[in-house]
Copies of this chain bind each other. A is one copy, B any other.
Amino acid sequence: MRDPATASARPVARPAPLRQAVYDALAELIANGTLRPGQHLVESDLADYLGVSRQPIREALQRLHGDGWVELRPAHGAFVHTPTEEEIGQLLGVRSVLEAYSAYGAAQRATAADVARLRELQAAGEAALAADDPRGLVDANAALHSCIVQISGNKVLADLISLVERRVRWYFTPIARPRGREAWIEHASLIAAIADGDAERAQQLMRGHTEQTIETYRKDAVTAAQAPVG
């Protein structure tokens, strides 16, 4: 990797923008449930816990607010955002539209190399499926979708999707297992459409794919409500 564009990404360790580390740490704490929805985040406590001053904490909280992770009530402080059922549905709907658009763009621009990469990721996903590796499935799925957005070349779209996607995964992770075989069959059709450069078909397939995910979520949500996970 001698490419100068990526070589200087982080040679050893940048002066470590502390707020970034704090942001990641807090996002992780929220995503994995250590910080529960609705919980009041006291700056001093977090600062003490993470071993930094309140300043980076504040800046991280601002950004977490901008990304929809926490609510910021003036003079009250930060509270972990509590997602409602309605909001989840809206998130999924928006995600579906954005992903469909990304598939549309990807089908228009994909090169042979792009398609090859997609097929690799598809293979990785099927391998994880065969190995019954839930964690690997989630990663492979994310990688595939991320790759499609990247191929579409639309950076604005990529930003928006990643924003929505992280919140979706946050809510999904504790209650839903990743979809299995059907999802990867749909992926295969989708990749074929992209390889053909058939933008309309790719868009339709992606829409169907994400809407199917919504259905799965609905069922899983009901199941989880009946038998909450520990």
Contact = CB atoms under 8 A, between A and B. Distances in A.
Contacts of A62: 19, 59, 62-63, 66
B87 A93 contact: no
A100 to B, nearest CB: 8
A62 B105 CA distance: 30
A155 B93 contact: no
18 contacts: A14-B74, A19-B62, A62-B63, A62-B66, A63-B63, A63-B66, A66-B66, A87-B156, A90-B154, A91-B156, A93-B105, A93-B156, A93-B157, A94-B98, A94-B101, A94-B157, A94-B160, A160-B160
A156 B75 contact: no
Interface of A: 14-15, 17, 19, 58-59, 62-63, 66-68, 74-75, 87, 90-91, 93-94, 97-98, 100-101, 105, 154-157, 159-160, 164
- Give the number of copies in the complex: 2
Q: Is the interface of A mostly helix, strand, loop or mixed?
A: helix
Given A62-B66, A160-B164, 6 more contacts: A15-B75, A59-B59, A63-B66, A90-B156, A94-B160, A160-B160
The 5 closest A-B pairs by CB, nearest first: A66-B66, A90-B156, A90-B154, A97-B101, A17-B74
Contact of A93 (B63, B74, B90, B101): B101
Contacts of A154: 90, 93-94
Nearest to A88: B156
Contacts of A93: 101, 105, 154, 156-157
Nearest to A158: B90
